[in-house]
Amino acid sequence: MAVVQTGNGPRELVDSGLDARSLAFTEIPVIDFGALVDPASTQAERMAVGDAVRDACTRVGFFYVRNHGVDPAVISGTYGAARDFFALPMDEKMRIHIRKSTNHRGYVPLLEENTDPTAKGDLHEAFDMALEVPADDADVLAGKTMYGPNVWPELDGFRPAMEGYYEAVYQLGRRIFRGFALALGLPEDHFEPLIRKPMAQLRVVHYPPQQGPIDERQIGIGAHSDYECFTILNQMEGVSALQVLNGAGEWIEAPPIPGTFIINVGDQMARWTNDVFASTIHRAINRSGRERYSIPFFFGPDYDTPIEVLDTCTTPERPARYPTVTSGDYILSRFDETFAYRKAGEPEPAG
């Protein structure tokens, strides 16, 4: 039995190498979010979405979203911008290396992230951005890491593409938070006051293909759970690499479905729900023979939000399993474990 270390403790899985079972799309929950997009929808229609979210999060642990309200042109434009960025010369990308940022923004080269502490580094490169917060903002001046301005390459069209995608998927994330609230028996707007200045991070990621024998300790991204409340992932069509751990400890393929995003629960939501909604272990292995790009959006609440087990998720038989922690402190603790640039003694990057 293999073990994956997460921010909420160790998780066991069946040691099956790099293989995963292929399931038909109908076996992976696909939830229609149209009722949370349409302001004219009825309460019953909205509650049906909440019921579907609860079923997916308690029974399977991940789900696809369709009728999500995000313009396909925004998505395709962001993929084009990502390809242009990763095609830049290395010295151009290294000018915005993430180590040079005070708030975790910029370029992450191959192997400089290691999501699985037993592995040898993740075989991908990435660009990270988040909420644009001015340098003179009170929270920035107070030293709340993760808030602050973004950094940008000198690349025409890249910034507007990324900012347009960020805003569109932020709005989708608000709808998903409403779906989670309904799923948990809370008022639909329960989370809204907690996501006014969210710790919401957008990445574009490039995975080179892995061919021939593969070292299980060095794949596209190692087995891990995400740190925030949930992740909104857009996968490049035609290139399957994502594998998700099901409740039986088996790896299941989660291929791209055109017109959808895939959502997985993160560690913060697991803590909020007392593991009623468990965070989902997943990994990516690009054996397609093609370059793979993906766009994850990690959605967490405002920096100072206390992540405290919800009353609707405790009973005398199931008391709170987690101590309260603020969102910002929790995310920083996980980044300290994951990124090479945050570890003492790591050399400064060239460029």
Q: What is the DSSP string of 237-291?
A: TT---EEEE-TTS-EEE----TT-EEEEE-HHHHHHTTTSSPPPPEEE---SSS-
Residue range 157-183: mean pLDDT, rounded? 98
Question: Which pair of structure tokens corresponds to residue 118?
Answer: 């037993």
pLDDT in tens, 52-103: 999 999 888 789 999 999 999 999 999 999 999 999 999 999 999 999 998 8
pLDDT at 112: 87
pLDDT in tens, 271-316: 999 999 988 889 999 999 999 999 999 999 999 999 999 999 999 9
- Residue 28 pLDDT exceeds 80: no
pLDDT at 280: 84
Smallest Cα–Cα separation from 197: which of 269, 268, 325, 301? 301
Percent of the chain with pLDDT over 70: 89
pLDDT at 347: 46
Smallest Cα–Cα separation from 149: which of 193, 141, 12? 141
- Give domain 13-342's CATH superfamily: B-lactam Antibiotic, Isopenicillin N Synthase; Chain (2.60.120.330)
DSSP classification of residue 22 = -
pLDDT at 279: 87
pLDDT at 25: 39
pLDDT at 16: 46
Please list, in sequence order, all residues whose beta carbon lies within 8 angstroms of the beta carbon of residue 199, skipping any fewer than 6 positions away: 130, 131, 146, 228, 300, 301, 302, 303, 327, 328, 331
pLDDT band with cut points at 50, 70 and 90 for residue 4: low
pLDDT at 1: 45
- Residue 113 pLDDT exceeds 80: yes
Question: Which pair of structure tokens corresponds to residue 153?
Answer: 């390459």
Residue range 322-344: mean pLDDT, rounded? 82
pLDDT band with cut points at 50, 70 and 90 for residue 334: confident
pLDDT at 233: 97
Distance, in Å, from the CA atom of 193 to the CA atom of 304, rounded to the nearest integer, reads 12
pLDDT in tens, 190-199: 999 999 999 9
The number of helices, as runs of H, and strands, as runs of E, in the chain is 8, 16
Q: Is 300 helix (H, G, I), strand (E, B) or coil?
A: strand
Q: How many CB atoms lie within 10 A of CB 306?
A: 12
Q: How many CB atoms lie within 10 A of CB 260?
A: 21
- Residue 342 pLDDT exceeds 90: no
Angle of helix 158-183 relative to helix 72-86, nearest 10 degrees, comes to 130
Distance, in Å, from the CA atom of 342 to the CA atom of 218, rounded to the nearest integer, reads 20
- Residue 246 pLDDT exceeds 80: no
- Residue 339 pLDDT exceeds 80: no
- Residue 18 pLDDT exceeds 90: no
Torsion angle of C-alpha atoms 266, 272, 275, 277, degrees rounded to 10: -60
The CA radius of gyration of the chain, in Å to the nearest whole number, is 19
